[in-house]
Amino acid sequence: MPGIHITDIEAAINFWRDKRTSSDGVTLTPELRTLAEVYARMVFHHEEEAEAMGLPAEALAAWGTWYDSTADTPCIAICSTSQGDDTCKGCGRTFHEVQHWPAMTPVEKRSTWRRITLEATAWRFGRYADRALENNKRSSAA
């Protein structure tokens, strides 16, 4: 089972820093404090992922609020898995991920988002002009 990646903890921390500032500029808000403790433990133990079940309820809730503010799906409405591809050219998800997306947990979805972002091969990560040039080259070669 995938865990919550440290970059997601960082993103949640930054989300809460923007959302709720401390009254004195020094004291952390409860959400920041609980996420910072998780982050510190991960850094100390050289861990890239934290198991969601092992997080304090407050940290999981703070992460969940951040998660709810993110896009739910990487879909760009160009689904090549419906045409028989094992991996969607549009979003980068596998056929299985596309089919089971609604049933996936937030942690599983974020793990998928991380993988497709790191791969950056899907059309959602390229510019339309780049794709047009690539298509023109293929047309000319044929």
Number of CB atoms found within 10 A of residue 39's CB: 18
pLDDT at 130: 65
Q: Does position 137 have pLDDT exceeding 80, yes or no? A: no
Q: Give the pLDDT band (50/70/90) at residue 82.
A: confident
Q: Specify which residues 49 forms β-bridges with.
A: 5
Match 């899907």 to its residue by tokens. Answer: 122
What share of the chain has pLDDT > 70, as a percent? 89
pLDDT at 21: 82
pTM more than 0.85: no
CA distance 63 to 28: 16
